[in-house]
Amino acid sequence: MPQFQLTPFALAASLFACQFVSASATAQTTDSAQPAAPLATVVISASADASAEGLPKAYAGGQVARGGRLGLLGNVDMMDTPFNTTNYTQSLMQDQQARSVADVLQNDPSVRVARGFGNYQELYVIRGFAVNSDDLAYNGLYGLLPRQFVATELLERVEVFRGANTFINGAQPGGGGIGGTINLLPKRAGAHDLTSLTLGTESGGLGYAALDLGRRFGPDKNTGIRINAVRRDGDTAVDREGREMSLLSVGLDFHGEGYRLSADVGFQEHKLQNARPSVTVAGGIALPSAPDASRNFAQNWTHSNERDTFGTLRGEADLGSGAVAWAALGARSGKESNVLAAPTVSNTKGDAIMYRFDNERKDSVRTGEVGVRGKLRTGSVGHSLSATLSAFHAESRNAYAMSDFSAIATNIHAPVDKAAPPTIYFGGNLGDPGLTRKSELSSYAVADTMAFADDKVLLTVGVRRQTIKDYGYDYGTAEENASYNQSELTPMAGLVYKPYKGVSLYANYIEGLQQGAVASGADVLNKGAIFAPYKSRQKEVGAKYDTGSLAFSAALFSTGQPSGYVENGYFGVFGEQRNRGLELSVLGQPMRGLRLLGGLTLLDAEQRKTEGGRNQGKDAIGVPDTQLNIGAEWDVAAVPGLSVNARALHTASQFADGANLQRLPSWNRLDAGVSYATRIAERNVTLRARIDNLTDKNYWASAGGYPGSGYLVLGAPRTVTVSATVDF
């Protein structure tokens, strides 16, 4: 666990907050001469952390939850938060046979799924800004889950927070946090014993088996264990592409008198063979048409292997009169081994060149947080006070080797297989990668949610002091060649007004913080200059309406993100991208047996300040102006246990270059599924079938994801998935 880098003021403020909450709450009890309230009977639910209240309840229809975690603020109901959030449940993941976080987020109109730069890492574009899978939070802690692919069998909830969010959980170590953040919650044993076995297959012949086991023990069943084991193996719907995944996770929890503990440990190994790569298109030419969706232009010697072991420990203790303190620790050890080759297309016919790129990577992550939260009243005003300290430490070891840059000639419409070319350029030792980067993040934050007018008005104010340290090391000599140490304050203010039952109006101001750049380049006159962290500033207003069975929301937002480039020989933070938009969403159960989930996002992502003004006023790379998702699930009354579902997605055209000369066509996709719950041999059995990309459309799904790059990702072909789940 890294050392917290705290000023005396920070430590004093945190201790004062703890004492203030506890003392004030105690004073109220003493002044009112009321006896201490008896301890409530603990009712065990599928709580995803060591908390007394457990998870927010599922909303009508069961596909999303009524609320979710907002960092140091704790779990907040969707009508009480001054932000736009959606919290997807395990039920949704099971019904849609979702394999990864990306599959879950296909339901979200504010999110589009892309891919990491030069690899197969899942990447999520929220409000037009990229969130790397490095920056997924696991029960509130960053950096603990596998970098490239996170299996849904680990998860109880997928919580999506839209908007800048450094105040909520601290700066994201991968540099995201501008358009949103994603928090993943692990599974816990419920009140009833669970033994569930799922077997399935999908197009291409990939087989699937999963075991989900939950038990509670001890007095009042205060101890729980949840075990998940998964195996996927075989070919996918893409020609010659293979996938192999093994997962084992164990979640433990204990509810004592006045305290709660939970722990998770997991192992995931994910292997891809001949996985289809992304495509780079040379500048100055029109984009080629999308190849056949099942076509694979990967070389048959390419692969990507990832292995991760990770764990967390969390505890919460009651301080009296509703105040609680918590602490959490986490660690991950990861290893990646890749042999990659991605095409660069030179004309509209799809002619391309490829080169070989090998890399070895090892990651070591340690992270943690401590905090306190409590409530008190000052006159007619209620206060919910929170304070937290957090720290993050990561070391990355890398080595690479490359072939000649034009070693392989091919065509993305008519791929050519070639023998693996020799590597001639090297960085570090592939057999023993050296330290290339070290990152240390630490922060402290305080917040107060004030309730006025019988809780009809909620005002939340807070601030986080964030310190970012980053060190770079030479691949060959392992000598430090760059360093960075900067701190910034990121304030937040949010207002909720509930004029009528079921209606919430809200507004917020919040900031995102990214690591500042270090000036580099052969002709840069201020080479080595270190810049302060980039602050992205967001303003948002919105409205929510909850009928109890159906909920609607609307949000208007504007976020400005600084960017750097060279001007007159000097590197500086001169540029800016501004994303403005409107989000409309609907969720719930408008009538018995019918569930709806979806919405519309309209985006205007403008390059407001660019190098030499060349791209001024043009659209940002990879941001469509319209995103529409609508899903429906219907229980067929004539056949008890039978449900059918469908989901339609529309993504408007987007650009693959900053000059807006390379336009991707818009695309539409239709997915459909069916499930049937019955009893066979006195066992509950659920049969599921699903078809994604029902019409087998060929389309470029996304452009870019890495700043300034417009690489293309081809959409997946028609994929049929079937499974059977038996509860023992």
Place of tokens 């919910």: 384
Q: Which of 263, 283, 281 is nearest to 327 (CA)?
A: 263
Does residue 682 surpass a pLDDT of 80? yes
Q: What is the pLDDT of residues 514-573, one digit of tens each?
A: 887 777 666 778 876 767 788 899 999 999 999 999 999 999 999 999 888 878 888 888
Q: What is the pLDDT of residues 294-311, one digit of tens each?
A: 999 999 999 999 999 999
Q: Which of 287, 272, 415 is nearest to 354 (CA)?
A: 415
| Tokens describing residue 495 | 């207002």
The pLDDT of 475-497, averaged and rounded, is 91
- Number of helices (H), then strands (E), belonging to the chain: the values are 4, 41
In the chain, the domains with their CATH numbers are 67-727 (2.40.170.20)
Q: Are 69 and 159 in contact (CB under 8 A)?
A: yes
Q: Which of 561, 559, 647, 563 is nearest to 603 (CA)?
A: 559
Greatest alpha-carbon pair distance for the chain in Å reads 84
Does residue 24 surpass a pLDDT of 80? no
The pLDDT of 341-366, averaged and rounded, is 97
Binning pLDDT at 50, 70 and 90, where does residue 285 land? very high
Q: What is the pLDDT of residues 71-99, one digit of tens each?
A: 999 999 999 999 999 999 999 999 999 99
Q: Are 125 and 111 in contact (CB under 8 A)?
A: yes
Give me the DSSP letters along 375-432.
Answer: EEEETTEEEEEEEEEEEEEEEEEEEEEE--TT-EEEESSS----PPPPP-EEES-TTS
3-class DSSP assignment, residue 433: coil
φ/ψ region of 321 (left if φ > 0, alpha if ψ in -120 to 50, else beta) reads left
Question: How much is the pLDDT for 77?
Answer: 96
Binning pLDDT at 50, 70 and 90, where does residue 48 land? low
Question: How much is the pLDDT for 39?
Answer: 35
Which residues does residue 374 pair with via DSSP β-bridges, in sequence order? 385
**Cα–Cα distance measured from residue 121 to residue 126, given in angstroms and rounded to the nearest whole number:** 16
Question: How much is the pLDDT for 75?
Answer: 94
**Whole-model pTM?**
0.91
> Cβ contacts of residue 343 below 8 Å, gap of 6+?
277, 279, 280, 297, 352, 353, 354, 410, 412
